[in-house]
Amino acid sequence: MNIPTNLKFTKTDEWFDPATGAMGLSDYAQGQLSDIVFVEIVVGVGETVASGKAIASVESVKAAAETYASANGKVVAVNEDLSGNPEVLNKDPYGQGWMVKVEGADASGLMDAAAYTKYCEERAH
């Protein structure tokens, strides 16, 4: 499982990049969902998102899930390419699979890679 050390994570399996303000779905989450066939970003540029509020709706061949904002902030960019290529969420969740970018976000309170790795391992048992 890929858990980059530069990112922060939520208990609901979203990641946040403090350097760029980007957020998305973790590698663990995409693996659990299996083949993702649909994604819809439900927030727009200029809107404020709050930690725990939905930023995207994701459907795979066997499940549907909401992706929540990993931190509070104002949306400055939305990944418009995702809706046409939902499979990048499976292939590259931390790269092309970014969902929105926010500014003014506070990453304190999120797990670091080590804590998130432990959290994922605990759930595997």
User: Residue 38 or residue 106: which is nearer to another protein going by CB?
Assistant: 38
Query: CB 41 → another protein: shortest distance, Å?
Result: 10
For 34, the enclosing helix (H) or strand (E) is none
- Residues 6, 11, 38, 53: which binds another protein (CB under 8 A)? 38
d(CA 93, CA 73): 21
**To the nearest whole angstrom, how small is the minimum distance from the Cβ of residue 11 to another protein?**
20
CA dihedral 104, 120, 78, 107 (to 10 degrees): 0
User: CA-CA distance, 30 to 60, in Å (whole number)?
Assistant: 9
Q: Among residues 54 and 77, whose Cβ is nearest to another protein?
A: 54
Residue at token pair 């819809």: 40
Q: For another protein, which residue of 11, 53, 62, 123 counts as binding (CB under 8 A)?
A: 62
Residues making contact with another protein (CB under 8 A)? 37-38, 40, 42, 57, 59-64, 66
